[in-house]
Amino acid sequence: MKNGLVFKWLMELGDEIESILKSNLGAKYKVMLLMTYIDIFSSTWNEIADSRQKTQKGRFIEWLNRFVIDKDFEHEESDLGLITAEIIYSIRNSLLHSGALPKSDKAIFLSELTKTELVEKHPDKTALKTSIVLCPQNIYLKVLDGFINTMKYLEELEQEDKVKFSKIMDKLQAKLEFEQAMAINTHSHNK
């Protein structure tokens, strides 16, 4: 990446979500915070990439589908369980707005243990095998995959369409500089 501010921002996001994962917060609060980082990143991405998504839900789902959801993710083999971007958004909404998991025809669990670990620990609970298990570690890894896949897309774009790449990077840099200026102004007024 040619832009130091953009790279610095991405590194800071990665560091921040890692600190959430390593914190003493419970699984529910870690998942809630990780969902807000998906909100931040997907909104920023869609703003700079000229997305046609006008709603927060649309931006969230579009970024997940484009950069996070893979073939394994929507199958039982995934250590989260059978899950889609729409289900993740439903979970995000319910957690952030009511502090609870959504009503669903699938069992949804929040746990520091992965789905595999839960099934091994409770082999008699057959419902676990077809459930969704939100483990902060797994969500963290998927969010990092999304960041990395976004960076790979930008690297490929830089090779294939330098004009489009430059436009995206210029928009992102301008957004970050503006937000940085806002943060500086906010801090200077609080002194």
If one counts every other C-beta atom within 10 angstroms of the C-beta of residue 180, the result is 13
Q: pTM, whole model, 2 decimals?
A: 0.79
Intra-chain end-to-end CA distance of the chain, in Å: 35
Mean pLDDT of the region 53-68: 89
Helices (H), the chain: 4-22, 27-48, 56-63, 85-98, 115-121, 136-160, 162-189
Q: Where are the domains of the chain?
A: 4-189
Query: Quick one: DSSP state of residue 133?
Result: E
pLDDT score, position 187: 42
Mean pLDDT of the region 50-75: 79
